[in-house]
Amino acid sequence: MRFLVSFVTLAAFWWLCSGQTAPFLLKSGLVVSLAVAWLSTRMGLVDEESQPLSALPRLALYVPWLLWQVVLSNWDVVRRVWSPGLSIAPAVIEVPCALKTGFGRATYATSITLTPGTVTIETGKDTFLVHALHDEAAAGLENGDMHARLMKVEGSA
């Protein structure tokens, strides 16, 4: 199953990046994708950590929520930049992280950074160091909603 997911992902990525429709180039792209998927599977590079297939259904629920948070945070940052009355008070905070897998921790750090107004600076064993643009952004992370959702994605909640 992981071999098939690797092959389809590589072939789709190749086609999207190249945009080629000539038969020879399509066949070449498929052959190369097949070879890379086979080699990476044979070398043991494809495992649960690199392809957390069990988390995909739960991740499908998390991604739309994250995209909505990105939209809301973008709007908030734009308002703060253009409205002199709204405060910008940068702060560095420690955010607890109880996620167990590398996939969960990487997704959490990336989600924080993708959300405008916050940037993950450093990841520790039990905490992340995060730069927040203002108090509300810091409070949004400290309330733990994103963390709780990722615990569900990871399967540890």
What are 95's strand-pairing partners?
128
The pLDDT score that the predictor gives to residue 11 is: 93
pLDDT tens digits for range 122-157: 998 899 999 999 988 999 898 989 999 999 998 876
Residue 74 has pLDDT above 90, yes or no: yes
Residue spans of the domains in the chain: they are 2-42, 54-154
What share of the chain has pLDDT > 90, as a percent?
59
Please give the sequence-ordered ranges of beta strands (E in DSSP) within the chain, or none if there are none: 91-96, 118-123, 127-132
* Predicted confidence band of residue 41 (pLDDT cuts 50, 70, 90): confident
Cα(144)–Cα(130) distance, integer angstroms: 14
pTM: 0.76
Other CB atoms within 10 Å distance of the CB of residue 109: 20
Q: Residues 97, 111: contact at Cβ < 8 Å?
A: no
Residue 51 has pLDDT above 70, yes or no: no
